[in-house]
Chains A and B, each alone.
Chain A
Amino acid sequence: MDSSPDYSRLIQSDSVHASLYTSQAVYREELEKIFYRGWVYVGHESEIPHPGDFVRRNIGEEPVILLRDRKGELRVLKNRCSHRANLICSDGKGNAKNFMCPYHGWVFSLDGQLLDVPYPQGFSRDKSESGLVALPLVDSYQGFVFASFNAGAGTLDAHLGNAKQVIDRAVAMSPVGRIKLTAGWVKHKFYANWKMLPENDTDGYHVNFVHASFAKVLRSHYDDAALQAEEDLESETIDWGNGHTELNLGPSYKNEMVWLGYTDASRFPGYVAALEQAYGHGRAHETLRAGPPHTVIFPNLFIAEMNIVMFEPRGPNECVQWHTPMLLEGVSDDLNERILRQCEAALGPAGFLLADDGTISERQQIALKSGNAWLDISRGEQREKEGPGDIRVGHVTDETTNRGFWKHYRRLLSR
């Protein structure tokens, strides 16, 4: 079975085949065609503010180092020595003048060039051809850094498309238009396929069931946004194209700052004043009411309201969801601490929400283990609307987001 799976058969407009979640062959092709051929999110500029700052990341299963070089330029290097392929950097983050491989002591500059080889008389190659592999495409938008192994991946601008305005909405939560990811990461392991993360994270249909225990004991913005009778729900699902999908919860919020667990903005007068000053009264109060986006940016970034989330695939049956609070520049420590506490409440292995999502995804993975089943993603096809700029908009409980994800996935995997 060397031939590639027939994706046009396995992915229908209204259903997808279970083998897409279980097959090793499909998983290998995803790595190649999504993670190694396209643009992938690697980190945020605020994680590496100074020259020499670096963080370790994985793109698909390739270990990389995201860093800022001496000149302040962003770079992504393969974390693999050009000699005998040892891991160059084993620290999760730090600041480096250069990288020395711990195996035989080769030294590389921050832009990947080979500077020094111990016992040089035996070294017959050309140093300039033995550097670390630098990813050919590295670009950032509003501080969000993306990279690609493939020089022909096109522009980041084209990849992001409509998702740019989503990122704009996220950073506009700050009166100076900047966020900072400085609180570290929690990593939550799911024994489930990585695609269940983007699918579940913008699924508005499950909230009433998976999160019933949460809704019983805590009042939250999800009461209005996702837990009303079908005809009373004003939130939307949006397929922005390119696999980017959103649960647009804003339309359901009546009051300001409900997205942070308040009934109005009176706790944070300084924040209100700063937003008004920066954006004018009208736009500031619209931001305070509508709140941050809840959007997956294909394939591995989730702007999860006041949190930033990354998806990491680890084989067909395991994945990791990373999260950190989306802290704001230009606001009080008080407000940022509130964002941090809300992040812990919602996300992660012990989160009031995500612990239950994780369990549900694992049960789904068990049920489709044979790889011999179809998953129905047809809900709301008949009432989905076309929006401006080729987007699709559905009821918040509809599978518009899932269809948007799979449509793009099919395009990439069929190439």
Chain B
Amino acid sequence: MQLVSIEEVRRIEALLYQEARLADESRYTEWEGLVDDDMYYWVPAGHADGDPSLAVSVIADNRRRLKSRIAQLNTGARHAQLPASPMRRVLSNIEVNKVETPKEQGTREYAVRANFVLYELRAQSTNTLEVWPGSVEYRVRARPSGDWKIFYKKVQLVHGSEPLATMGFLI
């Protein structure tokens, strides 16, 4: 395994905290600015290692579908986020590894794992607090130009196999 420098870890943490904050604050377009053109955004339905081409997921967005998801939120008419849920998530247990053979040549890519807990106020309907705990896997890409992007995010909910409340926001 290649060694990851403290500077690289810091840079990646900063990116992930920024991503978390933009999601918490429902700043969809700015959030979208952090993801790359080959982004895959995946929330499996409990069966963690299920093949998403065979098993149904809660979310399995390629870049195009993710774009539609964000456009739908940006219409201002998405009832499931009208008004947007006040949310805060805590990201922890971050582990960073460098990928030996990057998908895109000439870049550095990192595989990152973390845990999170998200507290959501369901302000659109019940006005109750919903808790969303889980682990998350990111792939991050650094281009020589100094551009850092997320191109994979897999959110494994602790309760993904159980009945889930409506989840119109970006998790």
A interface, CB within 8 angstroms of B:
92, 182-191, 210, 212-214, 216-218, 320, 323-325, 333, 337, 340-341, 343-345, 348-350, 352, 355-356, 358-360, 362-363, 366
Count B-side interface residues using an 8 Å CB cutoff.
Answer: 39
Q: Is the interface of B mostly helix, strand, loop or mixed?
A: loop
A-B residue pairs in contact (CB < 8 Å), sample of 6: A216-B75, A218-B72, A350-B58, A359-B80, A359-B166, A362-B125
Q: Residue on B with the closest CB to A366?
A: B125
Q: Is the CB of A184 within 8 A of B60?
A: no
Query: Is B135 engaged at the interface, CB distance under 8 Å to the other chain?
Result: no
| CB < 8 Å neighbour of B75 from A184, A212, A333, A349 | A212
Residue in A343, A348, A366 whose Cβ sees the most chain B Cβ within 10 Å: A348
Q: Residue on B with the closest CB to A218?
A: B68
Among B62-84, those with CB < 8 Å from A are 65, 68-69, 71-73, 75-80, 82
Q: Residue on B with the closest CB to A189?
A: B163
Complex Cα distance A366/B69, Å?
27
Q: Is the CB of B72 within 8 A of A352?
A: yes
Q: Is the CB of A359 within 8 A of B55?
A: no
Choose the segment among B9-17, B43-51, B91-99, B139-147 that binds chain A (4+ C-beta atoms closer than 8 Å).
Answer: B43-51
Instruction: Report the minimum CB–CB distance from A108 to chain B (whole Å).
Output: 26
CB contacts (< 8 Å) of B79 on chain A: these are 210, 213, 355-356, 359-360
If A217-B68, A356-B80, A359-B124 touch, whether A344 touches B56 (CB-CB below 8 Å) is yes
Q: Is the CB of B167 within 8 A of A350?
A: yes
Q: Other than the known A187-B161, A350-B171, what 15 A-B pairs have Cβ atoms closer than 8 Å?
A: A185-B56, A186-B58, A188-B163, A188-B164, A189-B165, A212-B77, A213-B73, A213-B75, A213-B77, A216-B77, A217-B72, A217-B75, A337-B53, A341-B60, A343-B56
Instruction: Report the minimum CB–CB distance from B13 to chain A (whole Å).
Output: 27
CB contacts (< 8 Å) of A362 on chain B: these are 124-126, 166
CB contacts (< 8 Å) of A337 on chain B: these are 53
